[in-house]
Structure 1
């Protein structure tokens, strides 16, 4: 990577993080002062950015955010709103403040013993909105909830949490992976025993492409990663590389090259590629693929730090065509997934 590109990456990351922290009260996509998955992805990425740069201001801002918003946490006990808790175990390590660990254990035990599950024992994807998805398993859950459990397991040295994280990741990949392409379907309906619209949605694959490796990082030293699970994950990465566009991005529905490309999913997938290369799990061609994504994504960041080309919050839609028509607008999860990708180059 040239020096000029590295400088460009670092400058873009600063703009993105600054834009995220400004917030936008009442704007669903950019409102940081709520307790849900959208700001959750944002703060996970901001913490990751802190880990790459060690900028004390970033850490101070995250601590202040938790103190402003912790009162909302107990009112949002659904799987999709577990995402903000993902930063708590690490904040406990960084600050020594017991409140972070106490809250984490309480929420982790709720997930172990009370959170709704499907007949396969996977977490049912529950949300804060007035909508129910009974017996449905979504790829999103891997990033929104399973990552938190893995991180809590490492920090608390409590194998209950680590073992559940490994179990849930295994179940989600088993239920969602397409044997033919290696890609993941967005969701699985356990009652109907089908993948509903059978859409291989880009951002669903991104949640697992980057989230699974973050989970593996947390599990190291506690549990062995089964060879079969590692092989399934690597199969996913190969399937993803097979459908990457020449410009470095991916279609909003991965196996529909005629559909528009989508930035947040592309960034998350490329971040997974970069992490997998660093682990030695895939070859250098995946680094080249991630580099192409980086160049394309940088062009979608404006001078204010807003990431463009990000599709809205997406349930499992009825048809593949609906994914292609979903509106695009700035979101904290879009900013966050791009920041996770940029962080791979800042730390290089």
Structure 2
């Protein structure tokens, strides 16, 4: 695979210049000039490095991941800079790495830290439909992002330690999102939903935000396929529900895939409206999700090419070199809704958020897509 050497070099460059205190891929923290904390961005990257170790056997990835997470997790299972009672679903995401690291290292504190994070979900406030609030500071709001941040961890914990008692609840939260947040006209999902209909950014009747943001759509796709992967064969009916939702979403996305680059636009359904642009992180997420879906049998074989095209298009158009170092461009730094009047969720809002390089929200899914390409190449 022609991209292997370039990507391996790029990933090693990033980890060689990163520490738990200052990871090179966390552009938000670097720009803010603040000490690093337990956060979802690093969680994305460490999870990708662990998966890369799993397929390559390169212990440099495992050693770095272990040192990184070990830095935050204390011996009693508490986590530095993490407060479960902040009830922020983003903070659950890095907990996914604990399962892999505990299986390999058997460090008791990693097992205890899973309980610490689960304690957040036990108290997480919910909407009237039973969905987790995205954050305590966003009352009654469900964001697509939150499904990815929390549901795979939740499902895995329930299956590993609670005989699956909470699995129906996890499935219900996916079903609520489909019922409330999917647009029947094009099959896409709106970024967020306010069950109270009180937020300034939402439709007062439906509670929905106004746009289809690519990365949020991608987070939801990853949530579906990653959670499906965890579910045992005994949950065949539940797996069929997520399988249908996932294929339905991918089918809705494919008409918007760019014919030349294989990528998708920042606002998915308006690719020809300036200044919309081909966005790297969401495109990489869909490259990964589609190829993984094919590998797991959730999608037919014919879908693989769409994922491969997205991966190749990113490598061809967004992965380059500057001053002797590799760089990944075209990554939306952040996008959200609420609390301040400049995050109103309009097309113009998504266009004015910063576009950056080398942020893990783009790098990590590209690494995950690369892992899927390696799996394909090696037949595993």
Q: Does 1:347 align with 2:375?
A: yes
| Change in 2 beyond 3 A, CA 1:75/1:110 | closer
Provide the rounded CA distance (Å) in 2 between the counterparts of 1:95 and 1:240: 39
Contact map agreement 1:23 1:30 (CA 8 A) in 2: no
| Aligned mates of 1:17, 1:339 — CA distance in 2 | 12
Structure exhibiting the larger radius of gyration computed from Cα positions: 2
Give the 3 Å change call, closer, same or farther, for CA 17–59 of structure 1 in structure 2.
Answer: same
| CA deviation profile, 1:269-313 (whole Å, cap 9, x unmatched) | 121111122233333442111121112111212343432100011
SS of 2:129's partner is: coil
- Paired position in structure 1 for 2:76: none
CA–CA distance in 1 between the matches of 2:134 and 2:227?
A: 19
Q: Which has the higher contact order (CA 8 A, sep 6+)?
A: 1
The answer for the alignment partner of 1:255 in structure 2 is 269
Map 1:51-200; keep pairs closer than 5 Å: 51-70=54-73, 71-75=79-83, 77=86, 78-111=88-121, 113-126=122-135, 132-156=137-161, 158-192=163-197, 194-200=206-212
Count of residues in Structure 1 that have an aligned counterpart in Structure 2: 338
Change (3 A) 1:250 1:175: same
SS in 2 for 1:347: helix
Residue of structure 1 equivalent to 2:360: 332
1:217 aligns with 2:249: no
Q: What's the counterpart of residue 340 of structure 2? A: none
CA distance in 2, matches of 1:123, 1:145: 9
Who is 1:314 aligned against?
335
Q: Is the 8 A contact 2:229 2:296 kept in 1?
A: no
In 2, Cα distance between equivalents of 1:115 and 1:12: 38
Distance 2:82 2:157 in 1: 18
Q: Whole-Å Cα distance in 1 between the matches of residues 89 and 212 of structure 2? A: 22
Contact 2:15 2:64 in 1 (8 A): no
Match of 2:52 among 49, 53, 58: 49
Greater CA deviation, 237-246 or 160-169? 160-169
Q: Structure 1: 5+ residue runs without aligned partners?
A: 1-5
**1:189-210 per-position Cα deviation (integer Å, ceiling 9, x unaligned):** 1111535432111001111222
- The one of 285, 309, 316 aligned to 1:292: 309
Q: Structure 1 length normalisation: TM-score?
A: 0.89
Q: Cα distance, 1:222 vs. partner?
A: 5.5
TM superposition score normalised by structure 2:
0.82
Is the contact between residue 249 and residue 266 of structure 1 (CA under 8 Å) also seen in structure 2? yes
Q: Choose from 27, 34, 38 the match for 2:37.
A: 34
SS at match of 2:332: coil
Cα-to-partner distance string for 1:25-47 (whole Å, 9 max, x where unaligned)? 39643659421112121112122
